[in-house]
């Protein structure tokens, strides 16, 4: 018994060192937020063409099932257009399947495909539509729980009889529990 105590202490220390050395969590709940810039392209929204201005952003949460797959839901402010043709402001929610490709312990490439419900408010009326959403990005693990994330996302809602391209470029943080 007397010699067992140093062995248990050494085993406990080794287990603690091994836990600290583990890479970022491969599964579980995560939440995050990001700020960015919008870009409106393609078809005009209710007669208003142009690029987005101001700040856009999103809040998101998800569950990472494995090192390569997650489901994510979020709310997004997609910015606005304000020019001589009128004003458009858009926002919405989304649900994505996210593919992840780890490139070592710190870097991960992201690809997402999902559905979004977007509301577009204009001077001439409001419309809400559903459409495809896709995205590409990368994230860098700052710690085992915190990651810096950069993304491009494209929303293609059906509003006012057209499917405009509403792009969002964001940088944010993701925290895994």
**Angstrom distance (rounded) from CA 40 to CA 51:** 5
In tens digits, the chain (177 residues) has pLDDT values of 454 454 444 444 444 433 333 344 568 999 999 999 888 877 788 888 777 667 899 999 999 999 999 999 999 999 888 888 888 899 999 999 999 999 999 999 999 999 999 999 988 899 999 999 999 999 999 999 999 999 999 999 999 988 989 999 999 999 999
d(CA 153, CA 37): 11
pLDDT, position 9: 47
Q: Which CATH architecture has domain 4-176?
A: Beta Barrel (2.40)
Domain extents in the chain = 4-176
Residues in the chain, overall count: 177
Structure tokens given for 10: 């050494």
Q: Look-up: residue for tokens 């391209």?
A: 165
Q: Which among 19, 12, 81, 77 is positioned nearest to 46, based on CA atoms?
A: 81
3-8-14 Cα angle (round to 5): 130
User: pTM (2 decimals)?
Assistant: 0.80
- Residue 52 confidence (pLDDT): 65
């Amino acid at each position: 018994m007397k010699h067992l105590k140093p062995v248990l202490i050494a085993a406990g220390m080794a287990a603690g060192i091994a836990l600290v050395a583990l890479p970022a969590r491969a599964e579980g709940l995560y939440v995050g937020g990001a700020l960015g810039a919008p870009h409106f392209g393609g078809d005009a929204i209710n007669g208003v063409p142009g690029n987005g201005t101001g700040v856009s952003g999103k809040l998101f949460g998800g569950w990472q099932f494995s090192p390569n797959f997650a489901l994510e839901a979020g709310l997004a402010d997609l910015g606005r257009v304000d020019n001589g043709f009128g004003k458009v402001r858009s926002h919405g929610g989304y649900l994505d399947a996210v593919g992840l490709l780890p490139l070592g312990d710190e870097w991960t490439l992201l690809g997402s495909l999902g559905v979004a419900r977007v509301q577009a408010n204009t001077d001439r009326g409001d419309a809400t539509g559903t459409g495809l959403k896709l995205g590409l990005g990368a994230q860098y693990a700052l710690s085992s729980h915190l990651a810096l994330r950069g993304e491009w996302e494209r929303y293609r809602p059906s509003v006012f009889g057209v499917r405009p391209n509403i792009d969002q470029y964001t940088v944010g943080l993701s925290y895994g529990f």
